């Protein structure tokens, strides 16, 4: 979609990358102007204020990154699914063409304890991700592929934690080998619960 002489999707991608690279607080309107090459009034007209731009960036990120990751869990074989899930996350995190780390993890850490709408939205996003993962583990458990003593809510929380941990390691530019070897070891840790 084009508006006011620029490609809205292309600009939104630049806005998303700026928030991804710098986090919410450190991404000032000045940073967004430099990233997009547009004046603040054009940005405000097209996307609303900084918080509205951030919401649009989160939605764009979810479609671009999270959806690709969650697809792997549609595999009915939990062993293969978990392997592909963590391998794909490592691939995304180590992709040199993208900002490092994870926009959602970073924003949750920065914003999840705030009182206002932005904090509320981040908490909803977190709970939504957790529910999606709980459903995956419950589906496997119902199909008899997960031991009956496995706790889907706890395992879902642990997967979310593992994603965030890998994102911090990748963001801190620890060795690629470390992120990759953790991604290989993570699925093994679920063996205990696989039938």
Which of 42/109 has CB closer to its own copies? 109
- Report if residue 91 touches its own copies, rule: CB under 8 A: no
**Spatial distance between the Cα atoms of 21 and 17, rounded to a whole number of angstroms:** 6
Stretch that binds its own copies, among 11-19, 57-65, 87-95, 179-187 (CB under 8 A): 179-187
Round to the nearest angstrom and report the end-to-end CA distance of the chain: 49
CA 78, chain centre distance (Å): 21
Among 4, 26, 52, 80, binds its own copies (CB under 8 A): 26
**Spatial distance between the Cα atoms of 93 and 67, rounded to a whole number of angstroms:** 15
- Report if residue 176 touches its own copies, rule: CB under 8 A: no
Across the strands, what pairs with 130? none
What is the closest distance, in whole angstroms, from the C-beta atom of residue 174 to its own copies in the complex?
7
Q: With beta carbons less than 8 A apart as the criterion, state whether 193 and 147 touch.
A: yes
Among 113, 117, 128, 195, binds its own copies (CB under 8 A): 113
- Report if residue 69 touches its own copies, rule: CB under 8 A: no
Q: What is the DSSP letter of 49?
A: S
**Spatial distance between the Cα atoms of 183 and 187, rounded to a whole number of angstroms:** 7
What CA–CA distances, in Å, run from 45 to 2, 28, 65, 194?
A: 13, 17, 27, 52
Stretch that binds its own copies, among 6-14, 52-60, 89-97, 173-181 (CB under 8 A): 173-181
Helices (H) then strands (E): counts for the chain: 10, 2
- Report if residue 157 touches its own copies, rule: CB under 8 A: yes
Which of 145/187 has CB closer to its own copies? 187
- Report if residue 105 touches its own copies, rule: CB under 8 A: yes
Give me the helices (H) in 143-151, please.
Answer: none
- Report if residue 23 touches its own copies, rule: CB under 8 A: yes
Residues making contact with its own copies (CB under 8 A)? 21, 23, 25-26, 99-101, 105-106, 108-110, 112-113, 122-123, 126-127, 130, 151, 153-155, 157-158, 160-169, 171-174, 178-179, 181-182, 184-186, 188-192
């Amino acid at each position: 979609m084009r508006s006011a002489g620029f490609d809205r999707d292309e600009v939104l991608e630049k806005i998303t990358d700026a928030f991804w690279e710098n986090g919410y607080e450190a991404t000032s309107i000045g940073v967004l102007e430099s990233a997009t090459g547009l004046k603040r009034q054009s940005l405000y007209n097209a996307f609303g204020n900084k918080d509205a731009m951030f919401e649009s960036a989160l939605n764009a990120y979810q479609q671009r990154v999270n959806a690709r990751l969650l697809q792997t869990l549609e595999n009915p074989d939990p062993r293969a699914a978990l392997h592909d899930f963590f391998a794909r996350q490592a691939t995304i995190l180590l992709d040199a063409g993208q900002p490092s780390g994870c926009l959602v993890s970073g924003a949750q850490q920065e914003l999840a304890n705030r009182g206002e709408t932005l904090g509320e939205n981040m908490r909803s996003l977190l709970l939504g991700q957790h529910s999606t993962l709980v459903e995956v583990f419950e589906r496997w458990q119902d199909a008899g592929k997960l031991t009956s003593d496995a706790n889907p809510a706890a395992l879902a929380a642990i997967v979310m934690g593992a994603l965030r941990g890998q994102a911090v390691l990748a963001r801190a530019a620890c060795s690629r080998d470390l992120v990759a070897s953790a991604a290989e070891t993570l699925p093994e840790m679920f063996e205990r619960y696989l039938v």
